[in-house]
Amino acid sequence: MSEITPRTDLRARPRRLRAGDALRRLVREVRLHPEMLVAPLFVRPGRRVREPISSLPGQMRLSPDELVREVDGLADLGIQAVLLFGVPDAKDTEGSGAYADDGIVQEAVRLLRGGNRALVIMTDVCLCAYTDHGHCGIVAGEHVDNDVTLGLLARTAASHAASGADVVAPSAMMDGQVVAIREALDASGFSQVGVMAYAAKYASAFYGPFREAAGSSPQFGDRRTYQMDPANVREALREVALDAEQGADIIMIKPAHAYLDVIRAARESVALPIAAYHVSGEYAMLKAAAQLGWIEERRATLEVLTAIRRAGADIIITYAAADAARWLAEGTGG
């Protein structure tokens, strides 16, 4: 075997810029910061309730008073935005708890806003956690009636705005939901309230832990007639374009980690801010693997969030927000 003579005349040596941590940080192309993270939180009736969610380690269903404590803790970590999901005690066919003036989300928003916190309060606008059938709209036979549902989604959004929400986030994937909500907000005097549209929300298997947390599993069928086929990208861009035309202020892609190509394609197709939802199943898999000792949780989580950012997301909604903010403050990753 002939001896290989080492090269000594290479001018381009990319390793030069990887020689030390300070140098690597200096040339880093994508950075994470707590200010771009949104913490999804579940709020339920009661007082002094912190109810663990078994499939989402570290996450709780919180009563409004405990929600305030949680948000204050997140603010200390530099997280300035939350996305609220309601977990009501009672459900009915039309999901009336979603748009009730004394609904659980409305109560929580008023309590948070009353504290005059420098906080962006986002609220999920959907009916599935409030309907006894678990679908995201009004059911006719075995189908969800799109146009009848629009009125209730608009009513829900207006009630959240009246309580003090800064941004409402329609997630039902009904055609025309953004324009219906925009018109309702404007007609009610809430033209300053933004709409973060779940523009490309896929019918994903990664939502399982969320459905346990919110108690929102459909009681029959599935959601594939209104949520998107995981195989489609062009359809996602059409949804993005439609929501932008209808007045969305922020476009969301959900899930995030398994759909980096969709985030990238959306980034290149629209100038609006892009939010990506690192969903419950994606978070739970990281937690489970870390608990088994198969991955290093801190590095793996920050790597995933960095990949979502690198794909083009401006905003990342993640259950790992608090952990990530803490790790970033400690100087690890990002």
Indicate which residues carry an active-site annotation.
201, 254
Distance of CA 218 to the CA centre of its chain: 20
Distance between CA atoms of residues 61 and 48, nearest Å = 11
The contacts of residue 264 (CB under 8 Å, 6+ apart) are 311, 312
Burial zone of 15 (CB within 10 Å; 0-12 exposed, 13-18 middle, 19+ buried): exposed
What's the N-to-C CA distance of the chain in angstroms?
Answer: 45
Amino acid at 132: D
Burial zone of 90 (CB within 10 Å; 0-12 exposed, 13-18 middle, 19+ buried): exposed
Between strands 139-140 and 120-125, the pairing is: unpaired
Distances 265 to 48, 60, 269, 271, 311 between C-alpha atoms, Å:
44, 34, 6, 12, 9
Distance between CA atoms of residues 223 and 135, nearest Å = 7
Between strands 167-170 and 143-144, the pairing is: unpaired
Closest CA to 80 of 42, 30, 108, 117: 117
Distance of CA 85 to the CA centre of its chain: 10
Give the DSSP letter string of 15-56. GGGGSSHHHHHHT-S----GGGEEEEEEE-SSSS-EEE-TTS
Task: Give the 3-state secondary structure of residue 235.
Answer: helix
